[in-house]
């Protein structure tokens, strides 16, 4: 079972507001939409590390702790878990701020794995573009 924090950890990488168009049939924000925001945040984080293109290759287990209401501010915090030869493992936490209550609550967290790729879509070393030239 995943443990959840009392406050966000990592870097605030993505923040947006939830909209009615992103709801499920019951009026809550669709979980797939939340996962897409997490993937975007994780990719931004991995892009900054690899200084180039990355592709999502895996998503670790996730538990949704609570529904996300329409109008909540959703914030994705990211941190690096591991940098391999061609891959980057990123932890993504999702927190919401409810407009009505002003509470800040964790919704979920997950691990996303990205692979650094070149312009042809082939794997490349993560550190290839981070080395400084003289």
Q: Which CATH architecture has domain 11-126?
A: Roll (3.10)
How far is residue 109 from each of residues 35, 75, 78, measured CA to CA in Å? Answer: 10, 11, 10
List of the chain residues with pLDDT < 70: 1-3, 128-134
| Residue-wise pLDDT tens digits, 48-87 | 999 999 999 999 989 899 999 999 999 999 999 999 999 9
Domain limits of the chain? 11-126
CA 25 to CA 12: how far, in whole Å?
30
* Cβ 82 vs Cβ 19: under 8 Å: no
């Amino acid at each position: 079972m995943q443990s959840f924090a009392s406050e966000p950890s990592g870097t605030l990488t993505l923040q947006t507001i939830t909209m009615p168009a992103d709801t499920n049939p019951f009026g809550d924000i669709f979980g797939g939409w939340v996962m897409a925001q997490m993937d975007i945040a994780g990719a931004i984080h991995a892009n900054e590390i690899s200084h180039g293109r990355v592709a999502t290759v895996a998503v670790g287990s996730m538990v949704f702790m609570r529904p996300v209401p329409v109008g909540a501010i959703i914030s994705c915090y990211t941190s690096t878990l591991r940098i391999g030869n061609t891959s980057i493992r990123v932890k993504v936490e999702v927190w919401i701020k409810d407009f009505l209550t002003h509470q800040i609550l964790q919704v979920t967290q997950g691990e996303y794995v990205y692979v650094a790729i070149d312009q042809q879509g082939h794997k490349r070393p993560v550190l290839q573009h981070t080395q400084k030239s003289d």
